[in-house]
């Protein structure tokens, strides 16, 4: 997971505690070259391919009703999944950071689990649970409830893959901030809800925003898990990343990269806001610099 | 005054902070419904096979080959990501150069860029008629649609993990130790390998494990650039999808459970590294 | 302000759980006017785009109702799997009969005798496999035998997931079987050699086309006839040539009604009309236009039919028996394809 640590200023160093100028130069060039080749070039490719046939061809990709419905679906999914994980993350970090109880480490590990589960497995588990051949399949069928290959399944898979984002960001921060402020407010007679709103929330708001940002980026961009539960019904269950794949497989490369460029722009905006937050509020984002 | 929470007999320490019941209950409900129940469905499905059944699937030559491809390449890619990740983290924290902040932001690109977008971009870049692929082709190297393509995609997605785990620790290094080492007559290389590197090893290992875990499970960015050729460039997650298309739920579940076990093992390894680091160096 | 305690906590939990459930249920039932879902295989995207528009028009003229036809495309096997797992498909139009058999066998949503429900055994059109080669045919590929020439790289999709991939596999097998005095052993060896010369095995016919046409890999793409002409026209006649081999396979992409789904959704009438429409003059002409071989060629335009030359087509059932046997023998776990790819020849 990403860490919210601001980049500190490089302090002037005595010559003995740094490398020689040529070495520094070579290492810097190597690092930048590596990043340019592996990270920046693919990003440029997306935009270059999207505009390969000019602005009109680019625009045309968004006149397709299927593209619009994909955008609508992705926005809907994110609008459900992100607030869900926000509430979950706050509740989880409140329970875990503010209280001492047995089995806490296990809980944190379980919350972390979706991070290391392959996206394909994340989709598969919902098929096994809700699919017609799955555990609950016959019951759902009898009651005429469609979960996978419909909005609920896509939302569930998205929630699963973005599950730890908010909690993981908030838990260490709230742990470091401790309970002293809340306890003081309670002693002064404030109610629990009031304390949360006026004491805790302001302390974690930037970290909250930060984690929601990353959660949203992942929610809108998830491919593997959603691909397994979507059913690929055009105009109905195709999200933006799936629509990108479809266009790509229709030899419609310009449109494919055009739609992909929307997601790439979202990624860029995310990075810009994220860097801004890190730069401005680094102290309020992370619990110390030393943490994983 | 809110009423104090009833102490839960040593399972929980008493606290004046309210809301434990609500927060804990909500957390557990969500965790149970969204994560544990579906994972249990998978395990239940796979347990029908028994360990011997899972072993049978795992040793099927094609599955074994796919697991080997996924594991082998993600280890190589995680090694590369760790090495260059360390370099990038070092350069970013130690050297001042124009555009340093932008470069720092770029590191997180693979976090933010959807995997499918990365996949089609990498595929068109490294294909024999792509920008980079054409240059490689002149050297007689084919990147896209070979294991090398998988490696490239895995390095792409693993890099930020490697950078972001070591970077905060490099920031924290006490400069005076380096100076002391230099004053005592150690040359720079000696200081680096003997004084600076050892305390960073746990972080490097953690970054390696995270990059590895992400690489093993990755799907979206790889399928576009891998050749998907059985025994050569077919990854385990793709094989799950293929097994599903063949109506072979048994096989799909068995591979998924194996991958799940790997995820658990990796998480466990990370926890062990951090516990060891806490004992050895006093911090994580 | 109500302070949080255990009791309110419990109540809030109950409320939240109810909301969550309600949201899930509500979203699942949002369904409005008549809507048909056609779950189809990979290369029919362009075809059904036009065909569905024609059906919507026809339905409007006949009944005055507005109907929406949705489609989903993917590898034929993957598509069958999603129907088995619960995609509410009204009709399936897949690439190979065994995929519909699988839906019938595993999910029971289609009767086992689905072939008998529609004209021509559920085949409104058939197709075959031809070769797409680089312009000028530099490797001189004329027939199936040329695919195993030492320096020829063949691009074909994975027969496990793709119907087109299975037809290619069966076509190559059938060719060698007939050529080498009806020896199954020699035919197996021929197919084995062919797959050793495949550098990329995509999951669907479309993936293979992209690999061959856009990414420039391989010398020959054995593919659906319609797909070959589509690439030929989309990517430019100056880059590729279509080579029609003297013999090839009679490829059967069948259609069927998903009985269990249409009865549940109450869409039987429209779904049946949709399938009947596929046999109408208008649809038959559209098949030919998209380079499929209509079951009633008399309904198609002459200039479209000119693109579909006489080829000696063999039926794989005549060589290998029933579809159950064909599927088991070649593509199921441990079948011929698995055995052949066990010895990686690279």
Cβ contact, residue pair A120, B217, below 8 Å: yes
Residue B34, pLDDT score: 93
Please list every residue in chain B whose beta carbon sits closer than 8 Å to the beta carbon of residue C332.
246
Distance CA B41, CA A113 (A): 16
- Taking CB atoms within 8 Å and a gap of at least 24, the contacts of C322-330 are C323/C97, C323/C98, C323/C101, C324/C98, C324/C101, C326/C98, C326/C170, C327/C98, C327/C101, C330/C159, C330/C166, C330/C169, C330/C170, C330/C173
- Model-level pTM? 0.86
The string of DSSP codes covering chain A is -------PPPPP--GGGS--HHHHHHHHHHHHHHHIIIIIHHHHHHHHHHTTTHHHHHHHTTTSHHHHHHHHHHHHHHHHHHHHHHHHHHHHHHHHHH--BTTHHHHHHHHHHHHHS-HHHHHHHHHHHHSTTSSSHHHHHHTT---TTSHHHHHHHHHHHTTHHHHHHHHHHHHHH-SHHHHHHHHTT--HHHHIIIIIHHHHHHHHHHHHHHHHHHHHH--HHHHHHHTTBTTTT--HHHHHHHHHHTT-HHHHHHHHHHHHHHHHHHHHHHHHHHHHHHHHHSSSS---
Q: Which CATH number fits domain B45-281: 2.60.40.10, 3.30.565.10, 2.40.50.140, 1.10.3720.10?
A: 1.10.3720.10
Please list every residue in chain C whose beta carbon sits closer than 8 Å to the beta carbon of residue B28.
none
What is chain C's length? Answer: 346
pLDDT tens-digit profile, chain C (346 residues): 333 344 444 444 444 444 444 444 444 444 457 899 999 998 898 999 999 999 999 999 999 999 999 999 988 888 998 999 999 999 999 999 999 999 999 999 999 999 999 999 999 999 999 999 999 999 999 999 999 999 999 999 989 888 999 999 999 999 999 999 999 999 999 999 999 999 888 878 888 888 898 778 899 999 999 999 988 888 778 899 999 999 999 999 999 999 999 999 999 999 999 999 999 999 999 999 999 999 999 999 999 999 898 899 999 999 999 999 999 999 988 899 988 876 544 3
Distance CA A222, CA A74 (A): 10
Write phi, then psi, for B10 (nearest 5 degrees): 65, -15
Please return the burial class of C66, using the count of CB atoms within 10 Å of its CB with bins 0-12, 13-18 and 19+: exposed
Query: Beta partners for C312?
Result: C247
Distance CA C270, CA C340 (A): 45
pLDDT tens-digit profile, chain A (292 residues): 444 456 777 777 666 667 888 899 999 999 999 999 999 999 999 999 999 999 999 999 999 899 999 999 999 999 999 999 999 999 999 999 999 998 888 898 899 889 889 999 999 999 999 998 888 988 998 888 889 999 999 999 999 999 999 998 899 899 888 899 999 999 998 888 999 999 999 999 999 999 999 999 999 999 999 999 998 898 899 999 999 998 988 778 899 999 999 999 999 999 999 999 988 887 777 654 433 3
Spell out the domains of chain C, with CATH numbers in brackets.
7-126+253-305 (3.40.190.10), 129-249+315-341 (3.40.190.10)
Task: Please tell me if residue B234 touches chain A, with a CB cutoff of 8 Å.
Answer: no
Residue B185, pLDDT score: 83
Determine the residue among C194, C203, C206, C210 to mutate to test chain B binding: the one whose Cβ has the most chain B Cβ atoms within 10 Å: C203
- A·C CB contacts under 8 A: 92
Joined together, the tokens standing for residue C241 give 């040539």
Residue C2, pLDDT score: 34
Distance CA A264, CA B117 (A): 7
Task: Please tell me if residue A131 touches chain C, with a CB cutoff of 8 Å.
Answer: yes
Closest in A137, A152, A236 to C86, CB measured = A137
Instruction: State the smallest CA–CA distance between residue B283 and chain C in angstroms.
Output: 36
Residue A194: closest C-alpha in chain C? C1
Which run of H or of E encompasses B6? Answer: none
Residue C154, pLDDT score: 96
Cβ contact, residue pair A118, B219, below 8 Å: yes
Given the structure tokens 């298309």, which residue do they identify?
Answer: B245
Instruction: Estimate to the nearest angstrom the gap between the alpha carbon of C72 and the chain centroid.
Output: 11
Distance CA A34, CA B109 (A): 14
> Is residue C207 helix, strand or coil?
helix
Cβ contact, residue pair C341, B230, below 8 Å: yes
Average pLDDT, chain C: 87
Closest in B108, B122, B219 to A224, CB measured = B219
Nearest 5°: the CA angle B2, A208, B16 is: 20
Instruction: State the smallest CA–CA distance between residue B41 and chain A in angstroms.
Output: 6
- Taking CB atoms within 8 Å and a gap of at least 24, the contacts of B50-55 are B53/B250, B53/B254, B54/B254, B54/B257, B54/B258
Please list every residue in chain B whose beta carbon sits closer than 8 Å to the beta carbon of residue C216.
127-129
- B·C CB contacts under 8 A: 110
Instruction: State the smallest CA–CA distance between residue B157 and chain A in angstroms.
Output: 9
Determine the residue among A49, A53, A150 to mutate to test chain C binding: the one whose Cβ has the most chain C Cβ atoms within 10 Å: A150
Distance CA B198, CA B194 (A): 7
Residue C63, pLDDT score: 94
Cβ contact, residue pair C81, B245, below 8 Å: yes
Residue A224, pLDDT score: 94
Residue B154: closest C-alpha in chain A? A38
Closest in C9, C106, C341 to B21, CB measured = C9
Instruction: State the smallest CA–CA distance between residue B189 and chain A in angstroms.
Output: 9
pLDDT tens-digit profile, chain B (284 residues): 455 555 445 677 888 888 899 999 999 999 999 999 999 999 988 888 888 989 988 988 889 999 999 999 999 999 999 999 999 999 999 998 998 989 999 999 998 999 999 999 999 999 888 899 999 999 999 888 889 999 999 999 999 999 999 998 898 888 888 888 888 888 888 888 888 888 898 899 999 999 999 999 999 999 888 877 778 888 999 999 888 877 788 889 999 999 989 888 888 888 888 888 878 876 55
Cβ contact, residue pair C81, B232, below 8 Å: no
Cβ contact, residue pair B217, A17, below 8 Å: no
What is chain A's length? Answer: 292
Q: Is ipTM strictly over 0.85?
A: yes
Cβ contact, residue pair B94, A120, below 8 Å: no
DSSP β-ladder status, C312-314 and C247-249:
parallel
- A·B CB contacts under 8 A: 347
Cα atoms in the Cβ-side hemisphere of radius 13 Å centred on C46: 20
> Is residue C22 helix, strand or coil?
helix
- What are the tens digits of pLDDT across the range C297-343? 999 999 999 989 889 999 999 999 999 999 999 998 889 998 887 65
Task: Please tell me if residue C264 touches chain A, with a CB cutoff of 8 Å.
Answer: yes
Distance CA A281, CA C151 (A): 62
- What are the tens digits of pLDDT across the range C199-254? 888 878 888 888 898 778 899 999 999 999 988 888 778 899 999 999 999 999 99
Cβ contact, residue pair A275, B183, below 8 Å: no
Cα atoms in the Cβ-side hemisphere of radius 13 Å centred on B167: 25
């Amino acid at each position: 997971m990403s860490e919210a640590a601001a980049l500190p200023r490089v302090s002037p160093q005595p010559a003995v505690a740094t490398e020689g100028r040529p070495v520094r130069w070579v290492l810097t060039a190597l690092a930048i070259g590596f990043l340019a080749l592996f990270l920046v070039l693919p990003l440029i490719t997306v935009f270059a391919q999207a505009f390969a046939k000019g602005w009109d061809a680019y625009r045309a990709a968004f006149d397709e009703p299927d593209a619009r419905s994909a955008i609508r679906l992705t926005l809907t999914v994110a609008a459900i999944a992100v607030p869900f994980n926000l509430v979950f993350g706050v509740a989880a970090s409140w329970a875990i950071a503010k209280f001492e109880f047995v089995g806490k480490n296990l809980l944190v590990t379980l919350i972390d689990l979706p991070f290391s589960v392959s996206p394909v497995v994340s989709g598969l588990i919902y098929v096994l649970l809700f699919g017609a051949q799955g555990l609950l399949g016959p019951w759902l069928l009898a009651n005429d409830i469609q979960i996978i290959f419909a909005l609920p399944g896509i939302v569930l898979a998205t929630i699963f893959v973005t599950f730890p984002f908010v909690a993981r960001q908030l838990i260490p921060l709230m742990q470091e901030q401790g309970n002293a402020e809340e306890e003081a407010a309670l002693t002064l007679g404030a109610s629990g809800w009031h304390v949360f709103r006026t004491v805790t929330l302001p302390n974690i708001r930037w970290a909250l925003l930060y984690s929601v940002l990353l959660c949203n980026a992942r929610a809108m961009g998830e491919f593997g898990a959603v691909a397994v539960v979507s059913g690929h019904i055009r105009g109905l269950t195709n999200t933006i990343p799936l629509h990108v794949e479809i266009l790509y497989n229709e030899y419609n490369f310009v449109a494919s990269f055009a739609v992909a460029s929307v997601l790439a722009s979202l990624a860029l905006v995310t990075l810009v806001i994220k860097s801004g937050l890190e730069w401005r509020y680094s102290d309020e984002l992370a619990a110390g610099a030393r943490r994983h | 005054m809110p009423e104090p929470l009833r102490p839960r007999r040593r399972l929980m320490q008493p606290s004046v902070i309210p809301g434990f019941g609500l927060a804990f209950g909500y957390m557990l409900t969500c965790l149970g419904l969204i994560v544990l129940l579906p994972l249990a469905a998978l395990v239940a499905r796979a347990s029908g096979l028994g360990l011997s059944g899972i072993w049978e699937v795992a040793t099927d030559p094609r599955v074994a080959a796919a697991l080997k491809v996924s594991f082998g390449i993600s280890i190589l890619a995680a090694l590369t990501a760790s090495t260059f990740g360390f370099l990038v983290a070092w350069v970013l924290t130690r050297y001042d150069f124009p555009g340093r902040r932008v470069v720092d932001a770029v590191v997180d690109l693979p976090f933010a860029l959807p995997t499918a977008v990365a996949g089609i971009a990498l595929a068109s870049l490294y294909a024999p008629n792509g920008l980079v692929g054409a240059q490689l082709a002149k050297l007689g190297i084919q990147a896209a649609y070979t294991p090398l393509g998988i490696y490239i995609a895995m390095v792409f997605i693993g890099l930020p993990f490697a950078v972001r785990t070591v970077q905060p620790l490099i920031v924290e290094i006490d400069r005076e130790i380096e100076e002391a080492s230099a004053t005592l007559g150690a040359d720079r290389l000696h200081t680096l390998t003997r004084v600076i590197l050892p305390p960073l090893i746990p972080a490097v290992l953690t970054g390696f494990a995270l990059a590895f875990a992400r690489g093993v499970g990755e799907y979206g960015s790889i399928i576009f650039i891998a050749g998907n050729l059985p025994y050569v460039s077919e990854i385990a997650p793709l094989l799950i999808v293929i097994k599903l298309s063949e109506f072979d739920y048994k096989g799909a579940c068995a591979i998924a459970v194996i991958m799940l076990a790997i995820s658990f093992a990796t998480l466990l390894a990370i926890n062990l590294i951090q516990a060891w680091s806490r004992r050895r160096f006093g911090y994580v | 302000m109500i302070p949080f305690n255990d009791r309110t906590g419990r109540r809030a939990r109950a409320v939240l759980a109810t909301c969550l459930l309600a949201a899930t249920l509500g979203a699942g039932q949002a369904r409005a006017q008549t809507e048909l879902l056609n779950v189809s295989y990979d290369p029919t995207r362009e075809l059904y785009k036009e065909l569905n528009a024609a059906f919507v028009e026809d339905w409007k003229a006949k009944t005055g109702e507005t109907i929406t036809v949705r489609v989903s495309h993917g590898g034929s096997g993957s598509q069958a799997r999603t129907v088995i797992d619960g995609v509410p498909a009204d009709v399936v139009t897949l690439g190979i009969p065994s995929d519909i058999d699988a839906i019938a066998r595993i999910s029971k949503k289609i009767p086992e005798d689905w072939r008998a429900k529609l004209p021509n055994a559920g085949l409104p059109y058939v197709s075959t496999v031809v070769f797409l080669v680089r312009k000028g045919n530099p490797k001189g590929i004329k027939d199936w035998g040329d695919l195993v020439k030492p320096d020829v790289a063949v691009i074909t999709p994975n027969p496990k997931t793709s119907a087109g991939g299975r037809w290619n596999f069966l076509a190559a097998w059938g060719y060698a079987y007939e050529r080498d005095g009806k020896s199954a052993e020699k035919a197996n060896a021929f197919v084995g050699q062919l797959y050793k010369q495949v550098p990329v095995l995509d999951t669907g016919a479309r993936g293979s086309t992209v690999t061959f046409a856009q990414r420039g890999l391989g010398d020959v793409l054995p593919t659906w006839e319609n797909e070959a002409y589509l690439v030929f026209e989309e990517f430019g006649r100056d880059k590729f040539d279509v080579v029609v081999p003297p013999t090839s396979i009679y490829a059967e992409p069948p259609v069927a009604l998903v009985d269990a789904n249409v009865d549940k959704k109450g869409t039987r009438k429209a779904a049946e009309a949709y399938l009947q429409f596929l046999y109408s003059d208008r649809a038959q002409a559209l098949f030919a236009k998209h380079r499929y071989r209509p079951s009633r060629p008399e309904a198609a335009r002459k200039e479209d039919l000119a693109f579909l030359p006489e080829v000696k087509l063999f039926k794989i059932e005549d060589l290998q028996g029933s579809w159950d046997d064909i599927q088991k023998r070649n593509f199921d776990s441990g079948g011929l394809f698995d055995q052949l790819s066990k010895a990686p020849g690279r």
